Amino acid sequence: MLERILIAGTGGQGIVLVGKLLATIAVRSVRHVTFFPAYGAEVRGGTSSCEVVLSSEEISSPVSEVFDSMVLMNQDSASRFLPKADQKGLVLLNASMCRRPAGLAPVMVPASEQAVKLGDIRVANFIMLGALLASKPLVPSHRVEDGLRQFFSERSSDVVDMNIRAFRHGLGLVSHGSSRRQTA
Amino acid sequence: MSARVLMTGNDAIGEGAIRAGCDGYYGYPITPQNELTAYMARHMPENGRVFVQAESELAAINMVFGTAAAGKRAMTSSSSPGISLKQEGISYLAGCQLPAVIVNVQRAGPGLGDITPSQADYFQATKGGGHGDYHQIVLAPASVQEMHDLTIRAFVLADRYRTPVMILTDGRLGQMMEPLELSDKPAPRVPQKKWALDGAKGRKPNIIRSLYLVPGQLEAINHALQDKYRQIEQKEVDYEERLTDDCEVLLVAYGTCARLCTGALKEARAAGRRVGLLRPITLWPYPYARLRELSTRVRQVLVVEMSSGQMLEDVRLAVDGTTRVDFVGRMGGGVPTQSEVLRHLCRRTNGRCRDQRKLHNRGRK
Amino acid sequence: MTRRISIYRRPEALQDTQTHYCPGCGHGLVHKVIAEVVDKLGIRERTIGIAPVGCAVLAYFYWNFDVSESAHGRVPAVATGIKRVLPDRVVFGYQGDGDLAAIGMGETIHAANRGEAITTIFINNAVYGMTGGQMAPTTLVGQKTSTTPQGRNLDTEGPPIRMCELLNTLEKPHYIERVAFTGIAGVRRIRKAIENAFLAQIEHNAYSFVEVLSPCPIYQRRSPADALKFVEEQMAVYFPVRVFRQDGKVVNA
């Protein structure tokens, strides 16, 4: 197994959080895992991206030149990273903030819009995580919710529940075909 | 055997230090090692140990001096510009023969530079940096596991030899996360420190000093230091080798660069090239002897660094003309890629040893 | 007949560029105010600023006059080096609380003590911003930061340092004032103080110091509006907002 995942968006969208969470959960079932954050100079409003690598063999670099999956949450990130996208790779775009690109077949997930409907725009990242894992079962799904609970164990149960709800919603969006995989 | 946890390299150093029995940590904010300072701020007091955010890196190294003089285990951390500030203090630690652990999470320079990773403090760490004839032991982790393990080793070596020990790493290893197993062994035993300053009750007073004004005294001290360094060179050299039994080309790299060389190694071998890797774990003392030995059996030694070529000079010293030495490097925060390394492997040459330090062409796509 | 009157425009001493500061940060406004004062005094072409290490490290991209970088905390030393050889230029240092009162405390005190004819502008937001929210010398007791996760503790960290009061014990400073982001009147006072400080340098060849209590929403851990309240209701209580030294004479509270 070798899965190189890029997650990117604007500062404040919880990009690093979702990457760390995915990496933390993956440690239990994948032999080699790395997580690497990259920050823009601004803490809020600048670009935020991170890479998660899952591999059955030793990982020689936490930073990759090619990605098997990309999760892009705003237009700036899409413009910046889509040129690196592989035809063979999976691309998930936050349809609420990204234009449909030509020449690729991304999965368009209306994450921000759905997050608002759920009650908090900040959980768009968990919706995207659900969509990613529904498209590619990288970790056993029963682990994810346990992982979510453990990761947020010091927060209020409202926060935990909202995040889980968002995650499940994202899972459902892709499974039910509400997010359209656009054919090129 | 404990469970695997996901941690940043910086946090792993912190946890390693706590498990090694570090009594006092003195830090100051500087990117890319702030996670370590914050980790110590949270966990040292929890474990009944001392944490101080000093007013500067200069103050911090002098606080380390004090804690070490008192016979306790002391550590500080910083990144390149802050490590420059600590050089005077490191020379004092060496001159006074005090044990201490200093962590340098390197960033690009010179000057204020950038927060991106670098290996351009190699000279500073291994050749001096501070004034005078001294050395500090320099350990170079290449994984989050080693960030933890080598920190524990650093405290042991510091106490064993009464010397400063530096963990030389970089911002990439510091900020990446990967799983590791935390040590569940008790903290390494602290040797008796009869020289320490803890109150001259029932004993002659101790003095900690590096000033020797009587003619001949300081020269004798220097000889004693050099004897100690020869001992360390004999006993503490450490390195890792991969596929060196039959290699024709030897990669030499440490830390992040060694890691990416493992990928290059795999790819090269898959393409039928007999490549091997020597990864120094101690940068001082340097594995000159083993490198010399290996160089007599290979066609090319290829050094990979995030610098203009600093460890390159130690490699040339070791190889001593027995085979060609080439170099792949990036500066100013650039990180060599696997493909760049492979390109340098596959170059056909006329066998002459070329000067590879033409870096203005390197790294440009 | 219609006439165009310019009511409000970008100062010439401020570059037409976007800053990188967080929403609600105090730096942007103080940069602008400094530029307004430089324009008003007509000194743009002989002003030299020194930028700190901290969030304002890129200030040289925002002002439209000569600016140097400095190693962390060494701004007053760099300023001294410039002013001594170019005494007719207007030289000012711009520093945060780590730069001025932690690592640079020695340089700060000695430049003031020597009475260097420079102006020091001190942006006090009670926290280290650039490096991710660590404790600063001016962090309030009980204030949570990444290196005081339980809140600043008087026993182990000591109290916050009052720089105006500290420098006011020295003989040579000519002008010392603390101002704050407390509404429109507060901002007007910031502008006036900076003008007074520059005039102390220009007219009296003397040392001047202005401390500006500022918001940092991200690391004061509040919304921009609440950060301003923090400045007014908490910081300004511990750090009194007033003139400390005028015309070289101590002003009592």
Write down all domains in chain C, each with its CATH number in brackets. Answer: 27-247 (3.40.50.970)
Q: Which residues of C touch B28 (CB under 8 A)?
A: 102-103
Query: What DSSP string describes A94-149?
Result: ETTT-PPPTT--PEEE-HHHHHHHHT-GGGHHHHHHHHHHHHS--S-HHHHHHHHH
What is d(CA B155, CA A41) in angstroms, rounded to the nearest whole number? Answer: 35
Report the share of chain C in percent with pLDDT over 70. 100
Cα–Cα dist B148/C168, whole Å: 48
Q: What is the pLDDT of residue A143?
A: 85
Residues facing A70 on adjacent strands: A6, A91
Distance CA B206, CA C158 (A): 31
Exposure string for B137-158, b = 16+ CB within 10 A, e = fewer: bbbbbbbbbbbbbbbbbbbbbb
Range of the domain at A45: 2-175
| Residue A154 forms contact with C (CB below 8 Å) | no
CB-based contact A61 B175, cutoff 8 Å = no
Contacts of A44 in chain C (CB under 8 A): 22-23, 218
Confidence band of B173 (pLDDT split at 50, 70, 90): very high
The answer to whether residue B203 scores a pLDDT higher than 60 is yes
State the nearest Cα–Cα gap between A138 and chain C, in angstroms: 32
| Residue range B179-189: mean pLDDT, rounded | 96
Cross-chain residue pair C23–A41, CB shorter than 8 Å: no
Alpha-carbon span B134 to A99, nearest angstrom:
61
Question: Which among C71, C72, C135 has the least Cβ separation from residue B53?
Answer: C135
Mean pLDDT of B207-219: 94
CB pairs under 8 A between A and B: 48
Question: Which one, of B177, B152, B238, B134, lies nearest residue B35 by Cα?
Answer: B177
Give yes or no for residue B346 having a pLDDT over 60: no
In tens, the pLDDT along C148-177 reads 999 999 999 999 999 999 999 999 999 999
Using an 8 Å Cβ cutoff, are C59 and C32 in contact?
A: no
Q: Determine the Cα–Cα distance for residues A137 and A140; give it in Å rounded to an integer.
A: 7
If you measure CA to CA, which chain C residue comes closest to A41?
Answer: C20
Could you read off the pLDDT of A101-151 as tens digits, one per residue? 888 889 999 999 999 999 999 999 999 999 999 999 999 877 888 888 888
First-to-last CA distance in chain B? Answer: 46
> What residues pair up with C21 in beta bridges, in sequence order?
none
Interface test with A, best of B7, B107, B114, B177 (most A CBs within 10 A): B177
**Which chains sit next to A, with 3 or more Cβ pairs under 8 A?**
B, C
Cα–Cα distance for residue pair B221/B329, rounded to 1 Å: 39
How many residues belong to chain C?
253
For residue A45, what pLDDT band results from cuts at 50, 70 and 90? low
**Does residue B359 have a pLDDT over 90?**
no
B6: nearest CA partner in chain A: A24
Query: Chain B to chain C, count of Cβ pairs less than 8 Å apart?
Result: 53
| Helix, strand, coil percent content, chain C, rounded in steps of 5 | 40, 20, 45
Q: Do A60 and B337 touch (CB under 8 A)?
A: no
Would A183 be classed as within a structural domain? no
Task: Note whether C147 contacts B37, CB cutoff 8 Å.
Answer: yes
Residues of chain B positioned with their CB less than 8 A from the CB of A36: 172, 175-177
**Within a domain: A35:** yes
Mean pLDDT, range B243-271, rounded to an integer: 96
Which chain C positions have a beta carbon within 8 Å of A42's beta carbon?
20-22
Which residues of B fall within a CB distance of 8 Å from C73? Answer: 56
Instruction: With cut-offs at 50, 70 and 90, classify the pLDDT of residue A179.
Output: low
pLDDT at B356 exceeding the cut of 80: no
On chain B, the residues whose CB falls within 8 A of the CB of A62 are: 172, 176, 178
For chain B, the domains span 4-235, 240-361
CB distance from B112 to chain C under 8 Å? yes
Count of structural domains within chain A: 1
pLDDT above 60 for C235: yes
Answer yes or no: do A43 and C23 touch at CB < 8 A. no
Q: Do B178 and A61 touch (CB under 8 A)?
A: no
pLDDT at B192 over 60: yes
**Candidates A24, A37, A60; nearest CB to B260:** A60
Residue B308, pLDDT score: 97
Q: Within 13 Å, how many C-alpha atoms sit on residue B238's CB side? A: 15
What would the pLDDT profile of A17-26 be if each residue is shown by its tens digit? 999 999 999 9
Residue carrying the six token digits 């967080």: C22
Residue contact C22–A45, C-beta within 8 A:
yes
pLDDT, tens digit, for every residue of C38-89?
999 999 999 999 999 999 999 999 999 999 999 999 999 999 999 999 999 9
Reported as a pLDDT band with limits 50, 70 and 90, residue B73 is very high
pLDDT bucket at A155, cuts 50 / 70 / 90: confident
The secondary structure of C168-232, three-state, reads CCCCCCCEEEEEECCHHHHHHHHHHHHHHHHHHHHHHCCCEEEEEECCCCCCCCCCHHHHHHHHH
C102 at the B interface (CB within 8 A)? yes
pLDDT value at residue C55: 95
- ipTM value of the model? 0.88
What's the angle, vertex CA B21, arms to CA B18 and CA B22, rounded to 5? 70
Per-residue pLDDT, C5: 83
Cα-based distances in Å from A103 to A86, A87, C51: 11, 9, 47
Contact assignment for C23 to A44 by CB distance below 8 Å: yes
**Cα–Cα distance for residue pair C190/B218, rounded to 1 Å:** 57
* Record: contact C130-B37, CB cut-off 8 A: no
Q: Is residue C184 predicted with pLDDT exceeding 70?
A: yes
Q: With an 8 Å Cβ cutoff, is A44 touching chain C?
A: yes
User: Which of A7, A51, A60 has the highest number of chain B CBs within 10 A, making it the mutation to test binding with B?
Assistant: A60
In a domain, residue A184? The reply is: no
Contact status of B327 with chain C (Cβ, < 8 Å) = no
Residue B350: per-residue pLDDT: 45
Chain C (57-76) residues lying within 8 Å, Cβ to Cβ, of chain B: 57, 69, 71-73
A41 touching chain C per CB within 8 A: yes
Buried b (16+ CB within 10 A) or exposed e, A128-139: bbbbbbbbeebb
CA neighbor of B51 nearest in space, from C156, C128, C98: C156
Q: What is the pLDDT of residue A86?
A: 81
Cβ atoms C245, C42 nearer than 8 A: no
Express each pLDDT in B216-253 by its tens digit: 999 999 999 999 999 999 999 999 999 999 999 999 99
Please indicate if any CB of chain B lies within 8 Å of the CB of C105: yes
Sign of CA dihedral A127, A132, A137, A143: negative
CB-based burial, C3-18: b 16+ in 10 Å, e otherwise: eeeeeeeebebbbeee
**Homologous superfamily in CATH for domain B4-235:** Thiamin diphosphate (ThDP)-binding fold, Pyr/PP domains (3.40.50.970)
pLDDT confidence of B64, banded at 50, 70, 90? very high
Which residue does chain C place closest to B113, by CA atoms?
C71
Count of positions (residues) in chain B: 365
What band does B119 get if pLDDT is binned at 50, 70 and 90?
very high
For residue C76, give Cα distances in angstroms to B77, C70, C130, C188.
26, 9, 20, 26
B263 inside 8 A of chain A by CB: yes
DSSP string covering B127-146: H-SSSSS---EEE---SHHH
In sequence order, the 6+-apart residues with CB closer than 8 A to the CB of C195 are C37, C40, C41
pLDDT of residue C1: 75
* Cβ neighbours, 10 Å, residue B122: 26
Q: Judging by DSSP bridges, how do beta strands B137-139 and B282-284 pair with one another?
A: antiparallel
Tokens representing C214 are: 């500022």
User: Rounded to whole angstroms, how far apart are CA atoms B32 and B43?
Assistant: 19
pLDDT band, residue A44 (cuts 50/70/90):
low
How far apart CA B278 and CA B300 sit, in angstroms, is 13
Q: Is the pLDDT of residue C147 over 90?
A: yes
Strands of the sheet with C243-246, listed across from one edge: C66-68, C47-50, C90-96, C119-124, C208-213, C175-180, C243-246, C249-250
Contact of B116 with chain A, judged by CB distance below 8 Å, is answered with no
Shared fold status for B4-235 and B240-361: yes
Flag if C218 and A44 touch (Cβ within 8 Å): yes
Whether omega before B110 lies within 30 degrees of 0, making that bond cis, reads yes
Determine the Cα–Cα distance for residues B32 and B10; give it in Å rounded to an integer: 9
Describe chain A by its helix, strand, coil percentages, rounded to 5.
40, 20, 40
pLDDT at B347: 55
Residues of B in contact with A32 (CB under 8 A): 178-179
CB–CB contact C22 A41 (8 Å)? no
Q: How far is CA C92 from CA B154, C162, C208, in A?
A: 45, 21, 9
Which residue reads 């009670």 in tokens? C126
Chain C residues touching residue B10 (CB < 8 angstroms): none
Q: Which residues of B touch A61 (CB under 8 A)?
A: 259-260, 263, 338
Asked if the Cβ–Cβ distance from B29 to C105 is below 8 Å, we say: no
Q: Once rounded to an integer, what is the mean pLDDT over residues B37-48?
A: 97
pLDDT confidence bin for B182, thresholds 50/70/90? very high
Chain-chain contact of C20 with A46 (C-beta, under 8 angstroms)? yes
Q: Is C246 on the interface with B (CB under 8 A)?
A: no
The owner of tokens 């029995």 is: B21
Chain C: residue nearest A40 by CA?
C20
Is A80 a member of any domain?
Answer: yes
B346 shares contact with chain C (CB less than 8 Å):
no
User: Phi and psi of A37, rounded to 5°?
Assistant: -95, 155
CA angle centred on A26, ends A24 and A27, rounded to 5°: 70
Please choose, from the candidates B177, B192, B191, B237, the residue with its C-alpha nearest in 3D space to the C-alpha of residue B15: B177
**In the predicted model, what is the mean pLDDT of residues B37-57?**
96
A12: confidence class by pLDDT, cuts 50, 70, 90: confident
For chains A and C, count residue pairs whose Cβ atoms are closer than 8 Å. 12
Asked if residue A50 is part of any domain, the answer here is yes
Cβ-defined contact of B31 to C146 (cutoff 8 Å): no
Q: Residue B227 is encoded by which pair of tokens?
A: 């004897």
Rounded to the nearest 10 degrees, what angle do helices A141-151 and A15-26 cross at? Answer: 120
Give the chain A residue whose CA is nearest to the CA of C217: A44
Scanning every residue of chain A, which has its alpha carbon at the shortest distance from the alpha carbon of C21?
A42
Distance CA C208, CA C177 (A): 9
DSSP assignment of B242-254 = ES-SS-SEEEE--
Q: How far is CA B177 from CA A54, A98, B33, B240, C31, in A?
A: 12, 29, 13, 22, 38
- Per-residue model confidence (pLDDT) at position C180: 97
Say yes or no for a CB contact (<8 Å) between A34 and B176.
yes
Alpha carbon distance B227, B230 (integer Å): 5
Asked if residue A180 belongs to a domain, the reply is no
Judge whether residue B353 has pLDDT over 80: no
Instruction: Specify the CATH number of the domain B240-361.
Output: 3.40.50.920
